[in-house]
Amino acid sequence: MTFEDLNIEREVLASLNEIGFNEPTRIQYETIPLIKEGYDVIGQSETGSGKTAAFGIPLVEKVTRGTPVQGLILAPTRELALQNAGELKKFSRAKGLRIECVYGGASMGPQISGLRSSEIVVGTPGRIMDHMRRGTLKLNNVKIFVLDEADRMIDMGFIEDIETIERSLPRERQTLLFSATMPYELKSIRDRFTKNPREVVTDTKVKEDYLKQYYCDVDRRIKFSMLVHLLRKEAPKLAMVFCNSRRDTDIVARNLQQNGINAKSLHGGLSQERREHIVEEFHRGSTRVLVATDVAARGLDFKDVTHIFNYSVPMNAEDYVNRIGRTARAGQSGKAIVLLTREDFDLFSRIVNTFSFDIQEIDCSADDIRMLPFRRDEFREHSDRRGQFREYGDRRGPFREREDREFRRRRPFERQPRGFVFT
C-alpha cells in the first residue's frame, strides 16, 4: 500500500515524496479515505503511529489556495502546536499553502498579519480565543476542525474555550479528533462536536513489542543516585526524564548537570524563547537528557529518544501512556523506566492496571549504587515565580510538596519489599 493507492492529489504526493513518506501507517490508511469522503473521524492509535499525517494529509488536500482559514487545528501545548504547524508545512510545500501558528508567550503582531493570509491555522485554545476576541481571526470559512490530543486539552481546563471556539465555526464542517488516549470523559465532547462520526481505533495505546516497560523499586533517598546510575548504565542516545512539578524539574536537571550529565529542564514556567531554544537543542542532540513536566508529554516527536524515565509517577494513566510514548516512535524501539518509591506503589498499580501493561522489574539492586549528593536548593534563574507550582500545561496547580514532607519524616533506611506485584 502506498500513498498513491489512497488517491492523494499530485502536489501533496510530491511533498510526501520529498520527506520520505511512501507507505501510510495503519491509522493513516484507515482514516485518510474516510476524511476524504467527508466524514467526521475519531482516530485513536498508539503514540508515534503517525496521527499528525492521518489528519494533516487530507486536510492539506481539501484546503484550497487563497481563502484564509479553512482549517483550524487545536493542540494542548505551544510546542505541539509548533510541531504540528511544521508538519503541515511539509505536507503542503508543493501546494504552497500558508500555515500560521498562534500561541501564547509570543507577540501578537506577526500572528495577526499571518492570520489574514493563512489557509490553515494551528494554535493553543487560549491564544485562538484571544484572536477571536480581538477580531483578528475569522472562523466563518473553516471547513475542517481538528482537535489533536483532545483529552489533554479538556484535562487542562480548556473545555470552555474549546466550546466557545466550536460555537464560532460553521455548522457545515468536518470535525476530527485524534489522540492515543480517549478517556470516557471525552464522550460528551465527541457527541456534541461530531456528526455521525466514523471511529477508528487500533488495539493498543503503545506498541508493547517495541516499547519495553520497567520499574525500579527504589528507596527515596537514593532515587536520584539511581537515576544517575541508570543513565550511565543504559547509555541512552537521548533520554527524557519526567517530573510532576516545575520545581523538581529544575532541581533534577541541575543535579544531573552537577554530575556531568548534559541535561536541561523544560516546563511551562520558562520564557517562551527559552522553551523553544531547549526543544531545538534537544532536537539537535546537543542536549542529551531533557528533564520535563507533562508539558512535553503530549505529541512531541523527537528522533532518537531511546529512554523515558519517570522520576515521579504521573497522576493518571493517560499521562503515563503519553509520557512513555515519547520513545519507540515510527517503528523504533525504546525503554521506559519508572522509579518507584514505596509511596508510589498504589498509584502506579492503578495506572498499570488501567491498560493491563506488561511491566517488568529492572535489575537495580542498591548495592552498586554510589550515593550522590542531591541539592534541593531552589534554582530560579530561568523560572519565574510560577516555578513553585505543579505543572499543568499552561495552568497553575497546587505545589506538590507532599513528597518532600514524607521524606523528612522517614525513618532510617529500611529495605523495600522486593518483587512488586501488580494486582
Residue numbers at the binding site for Mg ion (CB under 5 A): 51, 299
Residues 156-195 that bind ligand ADP (CB under 6 A): none
Which of ligand ADP, Mg ion, none does residue 53 bind (CB under 5 to 8 Å by kind)? Answer: ligand ADP
CB of 17 to Mg ion, least distance (A): 22
For position 301 contacting ligand ADP by CB under 6 A, the verdict is yes
Q: Which stretch binds ligand ADP (CB under 6 A): 23-31, 93-101, 125-133, 267-275?
A: 23-31
Query: Rounded distance, CA 63 to CA 69, Å?
Result: 9
For position 53 contacting ligand ADP by CB under 6 A, the verdict is yes
Single out the residue of 85, 100, 157 nearest to residue 393, CA to CA. 157
357 to 19, 305, 322, 334, 337: CA distances (angstroms): 34, 21, 14, 15, 13
CB of 200 to Mg ion, least distance (A): 15
- First vs last Cα of the chain: how many Å apart? 42
Sort strands 359-361 and 211-217 into parallel, antiparallel or unpaired.
Answer: parallel
For position 131 contacting ligand ADP by CB under 6 A, the verdict is no
Q: Which is nearer to ligand ADP, 84 or 293 (CB)?
A: 84
Among 15, 31, 44, 47, binds ligand ADP (CB under 6 A): 47
For position 21 contacting ligand ADP by CB under 6 A, the verdict is yes
Do 79 and 293 meet the contact criterion of CB atoms below 8 Å apart? Answer: no
Cell representation of residue 150 = 483532545
Query: What x/- string results for residues 316 through 355 when contact with ligand ADP is judged by CB under 6 A?
Result: -------------xx-------------------------
For position 79 contacting ligand ADP by CB under 6 A, the verdict is no
**In the sheet where 305-310 sits, what is the strand order?**
263-266, 289-292, 238-242, 305-310, 334-340, 211-217, 359-361
Do 328 and 210 meet the contact criterion of CB atoms below 8 Å apart? Answer: yes
For position 48 contacting ligand ADP by CB under 6 A, the verdict is yes
Q: Which stretch binds ligand ADP (CB under 6 A): 19-27, 188-196, 280-288, 414-422?
A: 19-27
For position 50 contacting ligand ADP by CB under 6 A, the verdict is yes
Sort strands 305-310 and 198-201 into parallel, antiparallel or unpaired.
Answer: unpaired
Q: Which stretch binds ligand ADP (CB under 6 A): 47-55, 235-243, 337-345, 356-364?
A: 47-55
CB of 21 to ligand ADP, least distance (A): 4
Instruction: Please identify which residue in the block is written with the cell numbers 537514593.
Output: 222
Instruction: Please identify which residue in the block is written with the cell numbers 488501567.
Output: 354
- The amino acid present at 322, given as its one-letter code, is N
The residue ranges that bind ligand ADP (CB under 6 A) are 21, 23-25, 28, 45, 47-53, 299, 301, 329-330
